[in-house]
Structure formats: C-alpha cells, structure tokens
Amino acid sequence: MPCRTSPLYALALCAPLWSLAQTASAPVAPACAGPRAAALDFWVGRWRVLDARGGEEGVDVVEKSLKGCVLIERWRGAGGDEGMSLFHFDATHGLWHQRWVEDDTRAVGGIKDKLLVSAPGAPTLRFQGTLIAPGDLVLLDRTTLAPLADGRVHQLIEVSRDGGANWRTSFDGWYVRMP
C-alpha cells in the first residue's frame, strides 16, 4: 500500500517501514573483526611440527570458520595420537577461548578449557586454564604461542602443580608451514 494519505495516517503507517529500511541499509561491521579477533590469524594454516632437535612431532591444521569467530585445530601426532581444539572469539567481551579434546579424554589434559590471558598484539599469546589430576590436585595449564619472524610458530605447553610458582614443560614444538 503506497504511503499517500493524511499526514498523521502516513506517519503512523509508514514511519516504521522507513525506520526498518534505514536499519537494513546501514552497514554492520562483522562481529569477529578487528585486531582482537585477528589475534590468532598467524596460526591459520597447515603445519609440520618438530621438536627442538628437529624430530617429527606431528601435523597440525588450523582453519578459520564462522566468519572468523572460530578457529578449528586438528592435531595428529607422529605416534598416531589425535586432538582437536575449538578456539572461539567472544565478540561481546573481546576474548578468545579454547576447548581442547584428545582421543583419550580419560587422561589428565584429555579435555582442557583455556582463556586467552595475554593481550592481542603482544609478542606471544598465552592461554591458561586448570586441570584436575588424580587426588583432586588442581593443576594450572598454559599454552604460549609465539609467531616468529621467519613464519614459524613456537608452541610451549606447561603445567604447574603449585599455583604458578614453578612450571614443567609438557610440550615444546616448532611449527613449520607446509605448502
């Protein structure tokens, strides 16, 4: 129905349509855009993973999904072990979360939940969470990702049994981009 009638009737009938049309045409920034949302972009790709001596650790594939709000990591270790991470960006709070799951969820660390605790834009990114070990021992678990100038990524996973006073390395890998 065209909006050609008395001014009051036209205002009452057509103003909501005009408002809707204005809202629909206004550009909306993607929810997962900007530097905080792009903090893990260096991690996207196919990786050959080596230990400090150059020995094969495995292969890792990290892909973006859901318009950049999610990164999916698929790990296959040289010994056949497997794991997956779902990194997701909380655009409301500007935070990255990680959920890691291994092929043996009974093992300590077989399921991990971590939160990005370092600022995006820092030279390294650190995710940290807690694990419950046998005897209800609470362990701190942290992963540090360091993008290097030559395109590699250094990943260090550490565990603390004493609230963060001392850390033990559980994984130390160097990621080399695959073609």
Amino acid at 141: D
Given this model, what pLDDT does residue 3 score? 47
Given this model, what pLDDT does residue 119 score? 72
Strand, helix or coil for residue 16: helix
Rounded distance, CA 125 to CA 13, Å? Answer: 53
Given this model, what pLDDT does residue 29 score? 74
Amino acid at 48: R
Q: Around 157, how many Cα atoms within 13 Å sit in the side-chain half-sphere?
A: 14
Q: What is the dihedral of CA 111, 115, 118, 119, to 10 degrees?
A: 140
- Which domains, ranges and CATH numbers included, belong to the chain? 1-30 (no CATH), 41-177 (2.40.128.20)
Strand, helix or coil for residue 112: strand
Each residue's pLDDT, cut to its tens digit, for the chain (179 residues) gives: 454 555 544 444 545 544 444 455 667 778 899 999 999 999 999 999 999 999 999 999 999 999 999 999 999 999 999 999 999 999 999 999 999 999 999 999 999 999 999 876 778 999 999 999 898 899 999 999 999 999 999 999 999 999 999 999 999 999 999 99
- All residues at 6 or more sequence positions from 137 whose CB lies less than 8 Å from its CB, including other chains: 161
Given this model, what pLDDT does residue 72 score? 98
Given this model, what pLDDT does residue 118 score? 85
For the stretch 132-159, what's the b/e string if a residue is b when 16 or more beta carbons lie within 10 angstroms of its beta carbon?
A: eeeeeeebbbbbebbbeeeeebebbbbb
- All residues at 6 or more sequence positions from 12 whose CB lies less than 8 Å from its CB, including other chains: none
Rounded distance, CA 62 to CA 70, Å? Answer: 10
Rounded distance, CA 118 to CA 122, Å? Answer: 7
